[in-house]
Amino acid sequence: METNLTVAARAPALARRLADVEVAASVVMTSKARALAAAGHRVISLAVGEPDFDTPPHAIEAAHAAALAGDTHYPPQDGTPALKAAVQRKFRRDNGLEYALDEIMVANGGKQIIINAFLATIDPGDEVVIPAPYWISYADQAKLAGARPVFVPCPQNNGFKLRPEDLEAAITPRTKWLVLNSPNNPSGAALSADELRGLGAVLARHPQVWVLSDDMYEHMVYGDFAFATLAQVCPDLRDRVLTVNGASKTYAMTGWRVGFCGGPKHLIKAMVNMQGQLTSGVCTVAQAAAAAALDGPQDLVRERAAIYRERRDLVVAELNKARGIVCHRPEGAFYVYPNIAGCLGKTSASGRRIETDLDFVLALLEEQHVAAVHGAAYGMSPYFRVSYATSTDDLREACRRIQAFCAALA
């Protein structure tokens, strides 16, 4: 009988570029959690970076109205005029940034904006500086574009934040991009205006470096922290900054797949050309929904941020009660990134040896049915990422299970 292996052995070869590109760890852990749930277990997943709220009703109504009106044909490659105008107003309202309409583009989520930008600018051998811990896709997309990722550790004692001196040391003549993600996935760390200015002073000395400012979690900042973005606080760098955002996190529209960005005209033009070869434009009814979300009432954004703040405080407090865990209190996003150094070298209740953060999350899933993602996937160990974008009741129960798991380590 012919097997998949024998078929693969005689098939044409796959591209070498895939050799270093892996399936995202969050996807892997979510799949494992679903398999356990299908087997009848009560699994709590803290592995998915997705709001647990619903899309605003007025956005759904706008999509419905667009479909009924016949707005179902091929869209412009760079975005519909209505959505681009709404994005223009959003950048002005929220960030004090003025972008002309030909300095704005819409894509199939923020992820496509990033690959558009990399493919439009990177040549083989270029380097992309990525502060660690980092969202998994940055490095893989850099590799797909032919670049070498250069990781800059941002340890917990620095608040998981990039320091100017560390950025300076990482930049070389081959550096093409710096990726800034604030608030950060996975750590939740957010850069203040003063911290951004410090990085901007370094970048001013290196005019060959583009900057990708990933602001997806901008409205999820807590307490007295004020969100700022690089092009806003360092206007002299504006012509080198691509400001990336989208509807997914702020408006709980992950499935609609709408991202947008503002940047210099010649870069946007190149990115639109690239998108035309990859996917063309974005679903018209999804763009209508995103425009309605951006222009509609913003009260729910603040209301949901207040709920996330309560969840953050709960999770930080409860995880710090777990033996062997130290959980930093972040400024934003909906993640915490607990340190589990105190859990390593021990054995779980089922006899599993915990030598790495991957061992920790696999044992936690198998024994307590709580899904999380190991820190090594984000470039920094020994940590694990917890998403608190789920119900407060589930978070309380998940933390109780994590405490029980840690208490049983011997």
Alpha-carbon distances, residue 129 vs 62, 112, 132 (angstroms)? 40, 19, 10
Q: What is the pLDDT at residue 3?
A: 61
Cα–Cα dist 93/248, whole Å: 19
Structure tokens at 214: 């990933």
d(CA 170, CA 168): 5
* 335-336 β-sheet, strand order: 335-336, 384-387, 373-374
Q: What is the value of pTM for the model shown? A: 0.94
Question: Given CA atoms 53, 373, 224, 325 in this order, what sign does their dihedral have?
Answer: positive
**pLDDT confidence of 230, banded at 50, 70, 90?**
very high
Give per-residue pLDDT as tens, 360-374.
Answer: 999 999 999 999 999
Range list for CATH 3.40.640.10 in the chain: 57-295
pLDDT score of 89 more than 90: yes
Lowest model confidence (mean pLDDT) among 27-31, 130-134, 395-399: 27-31
Residue with tokens 């493919």: 119
Any idea what the Cα angle at residue 96 is, between residues 90 and 102, rounded to 5°? 60
Domain 57-295 has CATH 3.30.9.30: no
pLDDT digits (tens, 9 = 90+) for 164-176: 999 999 999 999 9
* pLDDT interval class at 301 (50, 70, 90): very high
CA distances in angstroms from 205 to 106, 148, 161, 172, listed in the order given: 31, 22, 20, 12
Distance CA 241, CA 302 (A): 27
- Distance, in Å, from the CA atom of 58 to the CA atom of 25, rounded to the nearest integer, reads 34
Instruction: State both tokens at 75.
Output: 């869209």
CATH 3.90.1150.10 domain residues, the chain? 4-53+300-407
Q: What pLDDT digit, counting tens, does each position of 44-66 carry?
A: 999 988 999 999 999 999 999 99
* Residue 329 pLDDT: 98
Question: Average pLDDT in the 227-252 region?
Answer: 98
pLDDT, tens digit (0-9, with 9 covering 90-100), for 326-336? 999 999 999 99
The pLDDT value given to residue 26: 75
| Residue 6: predicted pLDDT | 60
User: What was the pLDDT predicted at 5?
Assistant: 58
Half-sphere exposure of 10 (CA within 13 A, CB side): 5
Answer whether the bond into residue 173 is a cis peptide, omega within 30°.
no
Per-residue pLDDT at 2: 56
Residue 4: the pLDDT is: 62
Phi, psi of 112 (to 5 degrees): -70, -35
On the question of pLDDT at 146 being above 80, the answer is yes
Task: Classify the phi-psi angles of 96: left when phi > 0, otherwise alpha if psi is within -120 to 50, otherwise beta.
Answer: left
Bridge-based pairing state of the strands 241-246 and 259-262: antiparallel
Residue 69: pLDDT over 80:
yes
pLDDT of res. 11: 78
Span 1-23, pLDDT tens digits: 556 656 556 779 888 887 777 77
Give per-residue pLDDT as tens, 175-207. 999 999 999 999 999 999 999 999 999 999 999
Give the chain's largest Cα–Cα span.
Answer: 66
Percentage of the chain surpassing pLDDT 90? Answer: 89
Residue-wise pLDDT tens digits, 263-293: 999 999 999 999 999 999 999 999 999 999 9
Tell me how far apart the alpha carbons of residues 228 and 269 are, in angstroms, rounded to a whole number. 26
Strand partners, 370: 44
First to last CA, the chain: 47
Domain 4-53+300-407: which CATH number of 3.40.630.30, 3.40.50.1100, 1.10.760.10, 3.90.1150.10: 3.90.1150.10
